[in-house]
Structures are given as C-alpha cells and as structure tokens.
Amino acid sequence: MSASPPTVGRTPTPPWPCKLLNLLMILVRVLPGIGLATPDIVCERLLVVDDDESVRRTYQAHFSGAGFEVHSACSLQEAAERIAGNTFDAVIADVCLTGDRGSEGLAIAAYLRHLRQDPPVVVLTAYGLPDRAEAAARLGVDAFLHKPVSLVWLESLLRTRIDDRRRGPGPEAMAAAG
C-alpha cells in the first residue's frame, strides 16, 4: 500500500472529534428547544512546519489523536500560504527549513506578528545557537526548544498557551499596561 500524497493545496479533513462536534452543532441548531446546551469543546487548529516529512507525520498523528485539527507545511512559502488563508490557534515550526541552517521558523513567527495574528508559536531547533534564541525572544515566540521534545509535554504547553490567549491578559498585565 503506497503512502497518500501530501495535502499541498488541500485542506486536510478534520479529525473525527471535530466532525462529531460539527454534527452535534448542526443538530442543536436544527432541533431547537430540545434542551441541549451548546458544547464548548473547540478543536484547536494547529500548523506544523517542518521540512522533514517523518516529523510532520509524527506530529500529525499525535496532535490529531489529541483532538487538534492539524495542517502542515514543509517550507517557508507553503507556511505563508497556509497562514494567509487561515487562522491558527497554535504554530509549531522548525527553525531551519533548508539545508543551510537558516532561520525560516523565526521568519514564520515574524510573518504572523506582521499580520497581527497572535497564536502561540513554538520554534524547535537541533542547533542551539544563542543568537536564534535571542531573536525568538524578541519576536515574542512562546517557546524556543531543543529537539527532541516530548510530544505529550508539547501538547500540554500548547493547550496552556491557547487557553491563556483565550482568557486574555490577567489583572497584573492589565495593571502594567494601564
């Protein structure tokens, strides 16, 4: 059995929990007055950007299984196309998407900020160069992590950061801003 082609130019099918949720939402709208409360379950939309197909597949399997709607890109250009047509609840990007130890993952974070999108961004690296970590901090990247990373821990980090964004700034941040 051959592997299915990558989803270039296509939107991946949402994981089954999202499909079930969508069906439930339709039923709630179609059958008013049956006493069902609108569920507040949300499928988080995640963009995974890595030039290594096996990494993208591993992240796709883990995060889809955890209820995320996962989109992927293998290059800076493909990531920009995905970002331009969508909003994401979180982004995971490899810092280097080319063979010359570039910093494309940081460019993705900068592009998101330029578009005024503020999802949690996690940048992963196999190369621990201090200048890249400093640049990530200046861009407001939520985490600059060295590979390998526990996917369970990464999922927990993303969920915490997504929840923090949804709740908005706390009283301390509001007091500091005002």
Domains of the chain plus CATH, in order, are 41-162 (3.40.50.2300)
Mean pLDDT along residues 127-152: 91
Q: Is the dihedral of CA 80, 52, 130, 156 positive or negative?
A: positive
- At residue 37, the pLDDT reads 47
Length of the chain: 178
Mean pLDDT along residues 92-104: 86
Helix/strand/coil (H, E, C) string of the chain? CCCCCCCCCCCCCCCHHHHHHHHHHHHHHHCCCCCCCCCCCCCCEEEEECCCHHHHHHHHHHHHHCCCEEEEECCHHHHHHHHHCCCCCEEEEECCCCCCCCCHHHHHHHHHHHCCCCCCEEEEECCCCHHHHHHHHHCCCCEEEECCCCHHHHHHHHHHHHHHHHHCCCHHHHHHHC
pLDDT surpasses 60 at 16:
no
Q: What are phi and psi of 177, to 5 degrees?
A: -75, -30
CA 143: distance to chain centroid? 13
Cα–Cα distances in angstroms (integers) from residue 86 to residues 44, 50, 166, in the given order: 13, 18, 18
11/88: higher pLDDT:
88
- At residue 177, the pLDDT reads 56
Has this prediction a pTM greater than 0.85? no
